[in-house]
Amino acid sequence: MPWIADDPRVAVASESAFADIPGWVTSLGADHVVIASRPTSGSVARLAATTLAGARPEVAVAHRVVPTTSVALAASGLNALESGSDAVAVLGAFDHLTTASASGTWLRSVTRLVDPKPGLGMHVRSLFGRGFVAMTTPAASVGRTLEAPPVGHPLLVGADAGSAEFAAVVALAGTHAVQSVPVLADVKSAHGSPGAEFVALAPVARPAEGTATCPVCASRQNAVTCPYCHVHCRVTEPA
C-alpha cells in the first residue's frame, strides 16, 4: 500500500506481500524500482528484487538494505523522488538521506534492545526510569536525549499525534518542528519496548551532471557500473 495515500510512488509491503510487488510495479508503470529494507528483512528484500527483475525484465531494479528506521526509509524515498531529476540521481539522493539523516527510535525501555546495543549503565537506568533514544543514523547510540536534528527539516514521527509516544518525542524535540506520519514498524516487536520511530531528513545537494550512460536503461550517471542494471556504463569523452 502507499505510505502516503495520495502518492503511490513509495509503497510499503510486509514480507508476506513481497510476491505482489511485480503486479504493483506494472500498475504504477514504473521503469526503475528500488526495494529497500532494514537488515532484519534484508534477505527477503534481496529475493524480492531478484524476483521482480525476473518477472519484469523491462524494469531496472536496485535494492538497498540499510540500518535505519522504517520511517526513515519511506521518508527518504519520497524526498529523493522530489529532489532527483532521473532514476540514478534519485537513488543517489536516497543513499545520502538514509545514511546522513538523524533517525532513531524513542523507547520506553532498553531492557530488550539489541541494536544499537545499550551499555550496562543504560540498562541500569532503564530499571528506574522511562524514555530512551536509540539513534541509528548518522551514528548508532543510545541515550536519554535527542541529538539536534538538521535545521529546517521537521522531525517526522511514526506515531499518532495524540499518543503518549508522540508527546514524548515532542518533549525531547524542544523548539524543533515535529510532524506525525503513518506508522510503519511494530516497535515493540523490533526493539522489545513500546515506542515510536522518527527521522529528520538531511539536506540533499544537487548531483553533478552525469558523464556516463547506462547502455541498458539509458540513465546518465557518474558511476562506472549502473546500480540498477549492473553493467558497465559508456563514458562520454569531453569534446
Structure confidence at residue 239 (pLDDT): 46
Mean pLDDT value of segment 156-165? 94
**Given pLDDT bands bounded at 50, 70 and 90, which one contains residue 33?**
very high
Structure confidence at residue 122 (pLDDT): 59
Structure confidence at residue 219 (pLDDT): 81
Residue 91 grid coordinates? 537513488
**Is 143:132 a contact under the CB 8 Å cutoff?**
yes
Structure confidence at residue 216 (pLDDT): 85
**Given pLDDT bands bounded at 50, 70 and 90, which one contains residue 18?**
confident
Residue 236 grid coordinates? 562520454
pLDDT reading at 127 higher than 60: no
Rounded to whole angstroms, the Cα distance separating 190 from 18 reads 19
Mean pLDDT value of segment 60-80? 93
Residue 94 grid coordinates? 536516497
Q: Report the Cα 113 to chain-centroid distance in Å.
A: 20
Mean per-residue pLDDT of the chain: 85
Structure confidence at residue 152 (pLDDT): 64
